Amino acid sequence: MWHNAFLQLATCNLQLSNMIEIKDVNKSFGEKQILKGVSAVMETGKTNLIIGTSGSGKTVLQKCMVGLFEVDGGEILYDGKSFTTMPEDERKELRQQIGMLFQGSALFDSMTVEQNVKFPLDMFTKWDHKKKIDRVNEVLERVNLKDTNKKFPAEVSGGMKKRVGIARAIVLNPKYLFCDEPNSGLDPQTSMVIDLLIKEITEEYNMTTVINTHDMNSVMEIGENILYMFEGEKEWIGNNKEIIFSKNQRLNEFIFASEFLRDAKDMRMLEEKGIINNERNMDALMEDPETHLLMGDNEKRESHPDREEKKP
Amino acid sequence: MKFLSTFGSYILLIKGMFTKPENYKMYWKEFVHQCVEIGIGALGIVVIISVFMGAVSAVQTAAQLTNPLVPKTTISQVVRDTVITEFAPTLVCIVLAGVIGSKIAGELGNMRVSEQIDALEIMGINTKSYLVMPKILAALVTIPLLVVIAMVLGILGGRIASTMGGIVSGDIFDKGLLMGFTPFYVTFAMAKAYTFSFILSSVPAFYGYNVKGGALEIGRASTTAVVASCILILFADYILAAILL
């Protein structure tokens, strides 16, 4: 019995490692309160998404988490240690375990791709030049970038800049990876590539990844743990499977903003229930009260006055 | 009130620079890079300004010394003292405030706006220390050297203008240079050079480091930095003259 209890405790501790906890965080700028008592847990080995409309406070929350903004109240815990009250020396050490991909990539303009990725190694390791270059090539290959070492950031595309940003963020094998809108300014296909790359790297390095996004594709594709924020407050927490069935009106309005997405959601719900693409279940489908409810929604949408006005 | 708040932030920036470097080698590399950027980068303009400054000084002094009782050696004495005490340190530093100041403010402003400073902070680097201190130290090393070069070239310019313009012969000019020389003037000029170097590097660094916004704000910060540096240089010039002379 004791053996089992010990194992459970050990497993629990393992799950807790590298976890980020946000406890009742408040942040104001002047008289405007941006974050209002936000609490959440960012899980290890998962892609944790912070989503919300513009101005909902997701960027401020992320900046508070990495220490670019100081919180007014509440606490942020890295692996159980309070980052908020941590002395500056300890913070510096912790920051070496944090990688961050910025919205605009934040690459150093005057340095080549290779120098950008090598910079954290130059600053924090005593490796010889060859070992550093080997590591740089390894991470550049990992993000599928080849033959770009000697190019300057201005000479590569937006998607490539993001990859260089990811390579620089993971070069020191960080425990935590933060991404601020990694898809902004990218086409949907490249966005998906970047999303999947982040997810793969998260699993490979067993990192705690926190992504700040309002990209619908990212939410549905890599949202293993999603925090939806509305006007500085935590509105909903779940994952990409649960989001389909969420009854939260604000979340639904945000995620399924277009009619096409609403229809796609309805189809997905029916698919999940296993009652479409199966003719034998059609009778059951018609008898299901939730189906009627959905159809009723569709009828309502079809008869929406705005939509009728647009018809010739 | 705003002035006090700005001054307080400036002091905090300077105070924040003094921490243990994360990697001495990288800091040294950045310092050498800044020495090249500031020293070599500004050398051309310093050479041109100094030569013409000395030449104009010689011609104007000669034009005003019409009294036949005043010896011609006075021209070179006036050129020497004005170049050493005022033209080389003050005028050169005011020009450098424009050249180097706008460059520092623009560079740091761009780094701030494009989140490069945030990227460094998240890596665990003290950006005040890594980005601002090497610039100030590089200015403190290279600008006094540029001022010394400006002194030499200013006097040389005066000599060239005097001899080529037929104002005085080279021998008389050289004789005048050695007459009544006060070595303290060089000390005074160097005190000014160090003070102005600190002002023209730290003030633009402060404005650039604290830029908020976009490209427009970077331009505004550069202009404000140059104007503030020039005013502070002139103010410091008066204070030093009042104290030391």
Strands (E), chain A: 20-29, 32-42, 47-52, 73-78, 81-82, 98-101, 176-180, 208-213, 225-230, 233-238
CB of A115 within 8 Å of a chain B CB? The answer is: no
A195 is a domain residue: yes
Q: How far is CA B165 from CA A22, A209, B42, B115, in A?
A: 78, 75, 29, 56
Query: Are A289 and A193 contained in the same domain?
Result: no
- Residues A57 and A8 grouped into a single domain: yes
Closest B-chain CA to A88: B124
Is-contact B156 B55, C-beta < 8 A?
no
Claim to verify: residue A267 and residue A301 sit in the same structural domain? yes
ipTM over 0.85: no
Q: Which residue in chain A is spatially nearest to B27 when comparing CA positions? A: A123
State the total domains in chain B: 1
Q: Are A248 and A266 members of one domain? A: no
Q: How far is A219 from chain B (nearest CA, A)?
A: 25
| Cβ atoms B57, B78 nearer than 8 A | yes
Closest CA to B159 of B147, B174, B179, B146: B174
| Contact between B14 and B202 (Cβ < 8 Å) | yes
A108 in contact with chain B, both atoms CB, cutoff 8 A: yes
> Between A and B, how many CB-CB pairs are < 8 A?
54
Choice between B109 and A286, residue whose per-residue pLDDT is larger? B109
Please give the pLDDT value at position A113.
Answer: 95
Question: Mind listing the pLDDT tens digit of every residue in chain A (312 residues)?
Answer: 444 554 444 444 444 567 899 999 999 998 899 999 999 999 998 899 999 888 889 999 999 999 889 999 999 999 888 998 888 888 888 888 999 999 888 999 999 999 999 999 999 999 999 999 999 999 998 888 888 999 999 999 888 998 899 999 999 989 999 999 888 888 888 888 888 889 988 988 889 999 998 888 888 888 889 999 999 899 889 888 888 888 888 888 888 877 777 777 777 777 776 655 555 555 555 566 655 555 544 444 444 444 333 333
Cβ separation A95–B122 shorter than 8 A: yes
Asked, for residue A112, whether it belongs to a domain, the answer is: no
Range of the domain at A305: 260-310
B132 falls within a domain: yes
- pLDDT score recorded for residue A301: 43
Half-sphere exposure of A51 (CA within 13 A, CB side): 30
Interface test mutation site (partner B, options A29, A92, A132, max chain B beta carbons within 10 A): A92
Decide if A80 is inside a domain: yes
Amino acid identity of residue B99, one-letter, is V
Asked if residue A105 belongs to a domain, the reply is: no
Do residue A208 and residue A239 come from a single domain? yes
Inside any domain, residue B54: yes
Q: How far is B125 from chain A (nearest CA, A)?
A: 7
**Same structural domain, A188 and A264:** no
- Beta strands A208-213; A176-180: pairing state: parallel
B36 touching A (Cβ < 8 Å): no
In a domain, B8, yes or no: no
Contact B124 A95 (CB under 8 A): yes
For residue B220, the one-letter residue type is: R
Checking if the pLDDT of B100 tops 70, the result is yes
A106 → closest Cβ in B26, B118, B124: B118
Residues of B in contact with A93 (CB under 8 A): 124
Residues of A with CB below 8 A from B110's CB?
Answer: 109
In-domain check, residue A86 = yes
- Is A49 inside a domain boundary? yes
Q: Do B119 and A102 lie within an 8 Å CB cutoff?
A: yes
Residue A127 carries which DSSP code? -
Does residue B227 fall inside a structural domain? Answer: yes
Same domain assignment for residues A203 and A295: no
Show the tokens assigned to A283. 């009778």
Please give the pLDDT value at position A31: 87
Q: Encoding tokens for residue A285?
A: 């489908």
Residue A144 lies in a domain: no
Same structural domain, A23 and A39: yes
Distance from CA of A158 to the nearest CA of B (A): 14
Residue A29 near chain B (CB below 8 Å): no
Does residue B72 contact residue B158 with C-beta atoms inside 8 Å?
Answer: no
Nearest to B82 by CA among B63, B56, B46: B56
> How many structural domains comprise chain A?
2
Give residue-wise pLDDT tens across range B126-161. Answer: 999 999 999 999 999 999 999 999 999 999 999 999
* B22: contact with A, CB 8 A cutoff: yes
| Domain CATH for A242 | 3.40.50.300
Degrees, nearest 5: CA angle A73-A77-A79: 175
Query: What is the rounded (10 degree) CA torsion for B104, B110, B111, B114?
Result: 180
Return the pLDDT at A211. 93
Cα A26 versus chain centre, distance:
21
- Backbone torsions φ then ψ of A240, nearest 5 degrees: -65, -20
State the average pLDDT over residues B108-130: 93
Distances (CA, A) of A192 to A123, A181, A243: 32, 13, 19
pLDDT for res A17: 67
Question: Could you tell me if A207 and A247 lie in one domain?
Answer: yes
Q: Is A95 on the interface with B (CB under 8 A)?
A: yes
Asked if A129 reaches chain B (Cβ–Cβ under 8 Å), the answer is no
Neighbours of A169 (CB within 10 A): 28
- Is B2 contained in some domain? no
**Domain presence at residue B5:** no
Domain around B80: 21-244
Q: Any CB–CB contact under 8 A between A90 and chain B?
A: no
Asked whether residue A27 falls in the same domain as residue A85, the answer is: yes
B110: nearest CA partner in chain A: A109
Among A81-85, A289-293, B71-75, B110-114, the minimum mean pLDDT is found in A289-293
A237 in the same domain as A181: yes
Q: Is B119 on the interface with A (CB under 8 A)?
A: yes
The secondary element (H helix, E strand) that includes residue A23 is strand A20-29
In a domain, A102, yes or no: no
Q: Which of B23, B26, B122 sits opposite A98 (nearest CB)?
A: B122
Q: What was the pLDDT predicted at A306?
A: 42
Cβ–Cβ < 8 Å for A62, A50: yes
Contact of B26 with chain A, judged by CB distance below 8 Å, is answered with: yes
A9 and A93 in a single domain? The answer is yes
Tell whether B7 is covered by a domain. Answer: no
Tens-place pLDDT, residues A82-106: 998 888 888 888 888 999 999 888 9
Question: Of A235-249, B12-26, B44-58, which range is least confident?
Answer: A235-249
Chain B nearest-CA distance from A109, in A, is 9
Task: Decide if B33 is inside a domain.
Answer: yes
